[in-house]
Amino acid sequence: MVQVFLGNKGSGKTLKLISLANDALQVEKGNIFFIDSHNRHMYDLHRDIRFVNASEYGVDSAEMFYGMLCGMISANFDITLIVVDGLMKMLPPEVTPEKMENFFDRIVKLSDEHGVRIVLGMSGDPDTLPEFITRYAVEG
């Protein structure tokens, strides 16, 4: 299952994602990963959540980010939840939401095939984002 937390910058998405990850420790049977573009919120997460700073791995495209997700899942079959904060901050400015349909198709398939819930935090107005993103939108 793929879920997207949408909202304008400063709307509280990060705090909701951190809370979601911490609360998931009570119900998830597998490992939880939290991916961010910096280390700022690393200590807000419970120590049992694996924190990954994507900027340390040179992620510079949606394809590369997808490859990182595949690598994580292939190396650890016990992952049941991956939370990503600020997806668009990890990608270069020329990668706009409108150009990400293939990426979304691929992560949905990855999530379904491997039983990993992927929760993405994205800044943006749900009224202006493409339907292939907003169909996964959840309220936090």
pLDDT digits (tens, 9 = 90+) for 111-132: 999 999 999 999 888 888 999 9
Q: What is the mean pLDDT of the chain?
A: 93
Look at residue 52 and tell me whether its pLDDT is greater than 90.
Answer: yes
Q: In the chain, how many domains are there? A: 1
- Residue 62: predicted pLDDT: 93
Question: What CATH number is attached to the domain comprising 13?
Answer: 3.40.50.300
Q: Are the C-beta atoms of residues 22 and 1 closer than 8 Å to each other?
A: no
Nearest to 73 by CA among 105, 110, 106, 42: 110
Look at residue 140 and tell me whether its pLDDT is greater than 70.
Answer: no
Nearest to 61 by CA among 37, 94, 34: 94
Region at 61 (left for phi over 0; alpha for psi -120 to 50; beta for the rest): beta
Q: Kindly report the pTM of this predicted structure.
A: 0.93
Domain ranges, residue 115:
2-138
Coil, strand or helix at 132: helix
